[in-house]
Amino acid sequence: MPANNTIVLLGKIGQLGWELHRDLQPLGKVIALDYPQIDFTRPAELLSLVESLQPCLMINAVAYTNVDKAESEPELCDQINFRAVEQLAQLAARLRCGFVHISTDYVFDGTLTRPYTEEDPTHPLNHYGRSKLAGEQAVLANTPAAWVLRTAWLYSRRANDFVQRVLTWSRQQETLKIVDDQVGSPTWARLLSQIIALALAQAKGEFYDFIQQTNGVYHLAGDGAVSRLEWVQKILELDPARSEQITRQILPAKTAEFPTPAQRPLYTALDCSKFERVFGLRLPPWDQALALAMEK
C-alpha cells in the first residue's frame, strides 16, 4: 500500500456513509466527515479542509435528497448536488486522487419498460434529478479518475427509511394504500457499501490509477425490478414481529392519486451488468437482500 493511504469519506451519517465508514477501514486511513465539520454551502472551507488531508481517495456520499423540497429551493439543491461536487472533482484531479460519487436513478424519466443501462439517455423529471445529473457531468468533465455510481431505492434499517416507515404504518393502520405503478430496484445500504469496498480493494491501494483505468458511470442497485406495492408486501411478510401488525389489507393505488411538488419517474429499475463485467461483482436479488436486512 502506498505511503499516502488517506481516504476521505464525505457524508458519514447518511444511510450509505454510515456503512462505508466501517467497510473502508481495511483499505486505508479513513477520515469520515459530515456536517457541521463540512458544509457544502461553504465550498472554500470544504475544499481547504479536504486538500489539507491530501487524500488518495475521496468518496462523496453527501447529497441534497429532499425531492419535493428541491422544487422550492433549487439553488440550495444545486449548490450541494452540483456546484460543490464540481469543485471537489477539480480538487481530486489536482491531487491525483481517485473520486467516487454516488448518484441516483432519478436521472431517468422512467419511460422505458426494461432496466436502464448506463448508455440510455438521461432525462430527469424533477429538479433533484437535474441537479444530480449536473453533478455527474461535472465529475466526469473535471477528473479522469472517477466512478459515478447510480443506485436506487436505498434503505438501511437504521434510519427513518422506507422500510422502517412501512413497518410503522403496519402498526398504526388497518389499510395501506401503496402505489403499484412505480417500479425500481430496492438496494440495502449495507450490501451496497460492501460491494463498493470490494471493488475498491481491487486497486490494491493504487486508487487513482485503478479508477482512471475503470473511469465512468456504473449502475449499482439490488438485482431485479419490483413495484412499490410488491416491495411493501414483501417487507410485511418478512417482518420478524408480524404479530405487532394491525394492517389487514393493502390496496393498490396510482402515483397520480398522491400529488407531490416533484414529478417521479415511474420505472427506474437499473441494469447493473456493466459493473459485474468490469469488477466481477454484483448485488443479490432485491428480495434476498431484504430478507437478510430484516434479520438485523
pTM equals 0.95
| Structural domain includes residue 258 | no
Range of the domain at 132: 6-159+187-221+270-283
What's residue 2's pLDDT? 54
- The predicted structure's pLDDT at residue 1: 46
Q: Which of 58, 60, 134 is nearest to 96 (CA)?
A: 58
Residue 3: the pLDDT is: 58
CB 286 within 8 A of CB 187: yes
C-alpha cell at 237: 411478510
pLDDT at 98: 98
pLDDT at 296 over 80: no
Respond yes or no: is residue 116 known to be catalytic. Answer: no
The mean per-residue pLDDT over the stretch 272-292 comes to 98
* Mean pLDDT of the region 194-219: 97
pLDDT (mean) for 225-243 = 96
Look at residue 191 and tell me if it is in a domain: yes
| Least confident span in 130-134, 155-159, 188-192, 241-245 | 155-159
Collapsing DSSP states into helix, strand and coil, what is residue 181? coil
Average pLDDT taken over every residue of the chain: 96
CATH code at position 155: 3.40.50.720
Average pLDDT over residues 100-114: 98
- Show Cβ contacts of residue 182 under 8 Å, excluding neighbours closer than 6 positions: 227, 228, 255, 264, 266, 267
pLDDT in the model for residue 4: 79
**C-alpha torsion 107→108→110→115, nearest 10:** -110
Q: Which of 64, 116, 128, 208 is catalytic?
A: 128
Report the pLDDT value the prediction gives residue 213, as an integer from 0 to 100: 98
For residue 153, the SS3 value is: coil
Residue 147 lies in a domain: yes
Tally of domains in the chain: 1
Position 29 in a domain: yes
pLDDT digits (tens, 9 = 90+) for 255-280: 999 999 999 999 999 999 999 999 99
In a domain, 233, yes or no: no
Share of the chain above pLDDT 90, in %: 96
DSSP state, 68?
A: T
Alpha-carbon radius of gyration of the chain: 19
Residue 160: predicted pLDDT:
84
Beta strand ranges found along the chain (DSSP E): 6-10, 29-33, 57-60, 98-104, 146-151, 154-155, 175-179, 183-184, 187-188, 216-219, 226-227, 249-253
Beta strand 226-227 with 183-184: parallel, antiparallel or unpaired?
antiparallel
Find where cell 451519517 sits.
Answer: 13
State pLDDT tens for residues 30-65.
Answer: 999 999 999 999 999 999 999 999 999 999 999 999
Task: Provide the pLDDT for residue 247.
Answer: 95
Residue 242 lies in a domain: no
pLDDT tens for each residue of 118-142: 999 999 999 999 999 999 999 999 9
Which whole number is the average pLDDT over 171-190?
97
Domain annotation covers residue 30: yes
The C-alpha atoms of residue 42 and residue 266 are separated, in whole angstroms, by: 35
Residue 256 within any structural domain of the chain: no
Residue the block writes with cell 464540481? 86
pLDDT of 143 strictly over 50: yes
